[in-house]
Chain A
Amino acid sequence: MNQEVFNLPQLLEDKVGKAMQYAYTYWARHLRLSPTFGDHIDQITTLMVDILKRAPLWIEIMSLENNLEEVIHSMNILLDWLDQVSGTLLQFNIEGLLLMILEIR
């Protein structure tokens, strides 16, 4: 049980660190502010997939931080962001196809 862990806040600060604690909690809010098009999308998506494959670890930390609701918020933000990316991608896709048709002609 989380509350049975002796001196949990100190332990978290020692093991995780302030910077990581901030990153774990607020990464999604930063993501929301980042553009949904451009070259970096590919990198971010690959990174996100890698991170989410290890999501239990993040969820564990968020629970220890007593901030589990942030997982729900973050995932909602990520899903919204992904919807926007997909929207842009669809547009890009159509433009690309049109370009190809022109080239073939």
Chain B
Amino acid sequence: MTEFENPRSFSRRSFVTGAAALTGAGLLAACSPQSQPEQGAEGEEGLAGTGGNEEIYAGACDGNCAGGCYLNIHVRDGKIVRTSARELPDPAYTRICSKGLSQVGRVYSSNRLLYPMKRVGERGSNDFERISWDEALDFIATKWKEITDQYGPGAMAIFNNSGHYSLCSGSCGTSISVTGRFKNVVGASEISSSLDIGCSHGFSHLTGGIPTYNEITDRKNANVSILWGNNPAISNPHTAHFHKEAQEDGNRLIVIDPIYNANAAMADWWVPVKAGTDGALAAGILNIYFTRGLLDEGFLKSTTNCPYLIKEDGMFVRMSDLGVEPTVEPDPLTGEDVPVDPIVVWDAAQNAPVAITEATDPLLESVPEVNGMKVQTVLENAKAAVAEYTPERAAEISGLKVEDVEELARIYVEDGPVSTEFFLGVNHYLNAPYTSWLIGLVAMLTGNTGKSGASFGNNQIYIPQYTHTNFAVTMPTDKAGNPCQGGDPHTYATAFLEELIDTGKYGQEDCVLKGVWFTFNNAAATMADSEYTKRWVSKLDLVICSDVMMTDTCRLADIILPASYWFEHTDVGSYLFATHPYITWNEKAIDPLGESKSDFDIFKAVAERMGYGEFFDLTEEEYCAEALDSEGYKALGISLEALKEKGALRVFPEDVHISDTSVWGTENGRLCLYQENVLYQFGDLGQPVDRKKECGLYWEEGKYCGEHSEARMGEYPFHLLSQKMRTHTHTQWSENEYTREIEPEPLAMLNPDDAAELGIQDGDTIRLRNYQGTVVVKAAINAGVPPKTVAMPRSWQAADFIEGTYQSLISKDFNDTSNNQAYNDVACAVEKM
């Protein structure tokens, strides 16, 4: 029936290398040097070269560590035999890691999907039978049509995710990728992966979401680098050397992390913040700045919204409050007429409320009543919001010393330029939007962005690629010039899918969801609350999954479509995202294994079978050529032709990219410490919202992981804190037996004192359980883990755990306005088995 019946046991096909397999001297004699072949002037022959008896192709590692490594794919006798680092134009960026080096273990994994399969048992029973592509396409087209005829095209949704960051896959987002073209052609809706976006919600409030990150080659120009919730030594090992080199050059490297890990070990100063309390620490630093007047008043007046006046209803005073009717002016971006009602501030020079553009010296505090209205400035509001976070209180909450809070505050003011390498460690909590707003303010109010050495954010480069892509490539026309129907406007957030399927309601709106296509998305293993994921998927009428490997998600599908691996088709790699500033040309090194097809060919084949062939009458290369055909790319000298010739092309025009933060992305181009309107990341679905939490500065501890939470005060005293793995990118590589030698199984790491108290030793089997799930794994003692914490990688699939799944312990809850899965906001109990 299926070769995947026992997913825990990989077939260890024994193969004896003996004299017959390797003819010793003969082969040796045939080998000429295999170092990097000459790669100039490839011309029509492309980038492939030969080294001895090997052919070498260019390939991109497209996983979602987002390193975007450019690789040499070494092929012998039609098979990939190894992979190595391929030189990038700036060799400082040339990179590879244990995952990139072990690609052969993925390409030829016994877990590869080699032909289409159809479910023959109950959904989730793991009973599949091999079918032909014709049968698969007919099945999909028939079922899809039945659903859309009855419920409309939006009843089918695309759920793409991060498994394949190339232009011709779905992982680059539906606005630019071939998945988007398919979605628009068939009119499908979409499911938001609802992850990694809690902090960006905070930054939307603060900056309007503009990029604040400088290229990593600028790090040597910083006096201080602070890794805050960022783990380059493990998550982005290719970038660690930039930090180390800057440190050797005199840069002070500070690591704010609850875990003493490889980054902390490298640091000049490790700040062991209590996990999930970074926002309280940042509030404490802001409190120091506000109470001691350490911020530049001129900057606060000219560059922030601190002088804005907040009425008692929480809205800003605008000219209409002074009796001046709004004017109508064209929006500079859209050209549409929009009402303009300028912000009012109190101008000390005129001793009167005036439009912000008329003020020369806006008051920051103690503004009298305006037209009989009591008002508060934004600065006063912000000061009040952080007043409780005295250095002593911030230190107490975050588990640090008062002098640590003081020293961090001092560094940002006195020791700049400071680069803050801020990443996802802070993101995976329900409080992430509040925390990130506060941390961002610490860096930005002290002027530590927008100039050499002063960077804030993470080093994943995607803005240029996103901005410059010719979006028209996803909205094709037929031969008569008629546009495709366009996608359904809904992008559903994961936590509400079951309710949507059950009730036909998404918030207050009537909606229907009957089928989902998972593409490069192992949602069953990576989304919070795996039991919930299984439940809502089980209620659908049609479940399609396309992937290169058999995954937990494939096991829930009705139809599985085998996608070819990254090196088995042509594509533009390192597209969104990459931790280097290049897009790369990915050659087809070998034919697709088995009957697998590229993502592009899969979407094309399904579209054709559904009668939309006219919209997919192009090849992968033609798609890439059209997507790269834009004025933005032309200005950078980027085209498909140039890419094929050069292999890697830089997406920034300047030698070292520095973000421009002279104008922030907010209404008046100012940094904001208050928003008058509640901002919704997933829409207003009628959920209760507390304006005090959403509009101004605010912090609260984690709902489940917080020390004073019901869970941790009660039955579940441990904070379960997920860790990234060296040898996995999410669940990718879990099927690779080479990397499994380094990390063979999931491990729950415990502090030595906790382990001693529970009688747990290295290698013991333990159970973690909480209010919704349980998992059984091996334990390891790690003195770098804080007390009452379990640190554990979660990037494994169900069969890898002794029992249960890690993901069953994670709540699917969202913050009130942000659809961000809170992987680290988890409490659990620990029991020795």
Q: Do A and B bind each other?
A: no
Q: Which residues of A contact B (CB under 8 A)?
A: none
Q: B-side interface residues toward A, CB under 8 Å? A: none
